[in-house]
Chains A and B, each alone.
Chain A
Amino acid sequence: MNVLVCVKRVPETGARITLTPDAQAIDTSLLGFTISPHEECAVEEALRIMEQHGGTTTVLTLGPAAATEQLQNALAMGIGSAVLVETDGGDWSAEATAAALVEAIRAQSEPFGVLLFGNEAADTGDYQVGVRVAHALGMPCVTGIKGLAIDGEKLTARREVGGGWEIFELPLPSVVTVKEGINLPRYASVQGRLRAKKTEIERIHPQPRASALETVKLVVPPEQETHVEILGGADAATRVVAVLRELGLVA
Chain B
Amino acid sequence: MTLCLVDDDPVSLETLTFARRLGDVEALVFGEADVDGYVERARRVVHELLDEYAPEAWAQTIVELEPDVVVAPGTDRGHEVLAYVAARLDVPLAANVVDVSLDGDVFQLTRQRWGGSLLEEARLTGTPKLLTVAPHAVAAEPAGVATSVEEFTPTLSDEHFRVRVTRREEPTAGTVRLDTARVVVGGGRGVGSKEGFELLEELANLLGGAVGGSRVVTNLGWRPHSDQVGQTGARIAPDLYIACGVSGAIQHIVGCKGAKRILVINKDQNAPIVARADWAVIGDLHEVVPAIVAELRKNGPEGGARHC
Contact B163 A228 (CB under 8 A): no
Of the candidate stretches A58-66, A118-126, A193-201, the one touching chain B is A118-126
Scan A69-94; emit 1 where CB is below 8 A from any B CB, else 0: 00000000000000000000000011
Output the residue of A26, A122, A166 with the most chain B CB within 10 A: A166
A4 at the interface (CB under 8 A from B): no
Between A and B, how many residue pairs show CB distances below 8 Å? Answer: 267
CB proximity to B under 8 Å, residues A187-234: 211-221, 223-234
A171 touches B275 (CB 8 A): no
User: Cβ of B114 and Cβ of A17 under 8 Å apart?
Assistant: yes
* Stretch from B23-31, B34-42, B169-177, B188-196 forming part of the interface with A: B169-177
Given A168-B166, A236-B283, A250-B306, residue A162 in contact with residue B171 (CB < 8 A)? yes
Say yes or no: is A33 at the interface (Cβ < 8 Å to chain B): no
Are A143 and B162 interface neighbours, CB within 8 A? no
Stretch at the interface among B62-70, B92-100, B135-143: B92-100
Q: Which of A164, A240, A241 contacts B168 (CB 8 A)?
A: A164
Residues on A with C-beta less than 8 A from B257 are 224
Specify which chain B residues have a CB less than 8 angstroms from the CB of A181 in the assembled complex: 218, 224-226, 228, 232-233
- Tell me if B2 counts as interface (CB < 8 A to partner A): no
Q: Are A211 and B280 in contact (CB under 8 A)?
A: no
Minimal beta-carbon separation of A215 from chain B (angstroms) = 5
Chain B 150-192: CB-based contact to A (< 8 A → 1; otherwise 0): 0000000000001111111111100101111011000000000
Known A-B contacts A214-B122, A228-B275, A251-B299; the reply to A170 vs B162 at CB < 8 A is yes
Number of chain B residues whose Cβ lies closer than 8 Å to a Cβ of chain A: 102
Chain B residues whose C-beta falls within 8 Å of the C-beta of A14 in the assembled complex = 249-250
Q: A15-B249, A168-B165, A224-B257 are in contact. Are A211 and B178 (CB under 8 A)?
A: no
Binding stretch for chain B, among A42-50, A104-112, A130-138: A130-138
The docked-state distance in angstroms from the alpha carbon of A14 to that of B91 is 34
Q: A248 vs B232: C-alpha distance in the bound complex, in angstroms?
A: 31
How many Å lie between the Cα of A230 and that of B263 in the bound state? 10
Docked Cα-Cα span, A160 to B281, in Å, equals 34
Asked whether B278 is an interface residue with its Cβ less than 8 Å from the other chain, the reply is yes
- What are the 8 closest A-B residue pairs judged by CB atoms, nearest first? A181-B225, A163-B171, A135-B87, A131-B83, A213-B92, A237-B291, A128-B83, A212-B126
Instruction: Jot down 10 A-B pairs with beta carbons below 8 A, ordered by A.
Output: A126-B95, A127-B79, A127-B93, A184-B219, A212-B125, A219-B118, A229-B279, A229-B280, A234-B287, A240-B292
Q: Which residues of B contact A (CB under 8 A)?
A: 9, 53, 55-56, 76, 79-80, 82-84, 86-88, 90-96, 108, 110, 112-126, 132, 162-172, 175, 177-180, 182-183, 206-207, 218-219, 221, 224-226, 228, 231-233, 239-240, 249-250, 257, 261-264, 269, 272, 274-284, 287-288, 291-292, 294-296, 299, 303-306
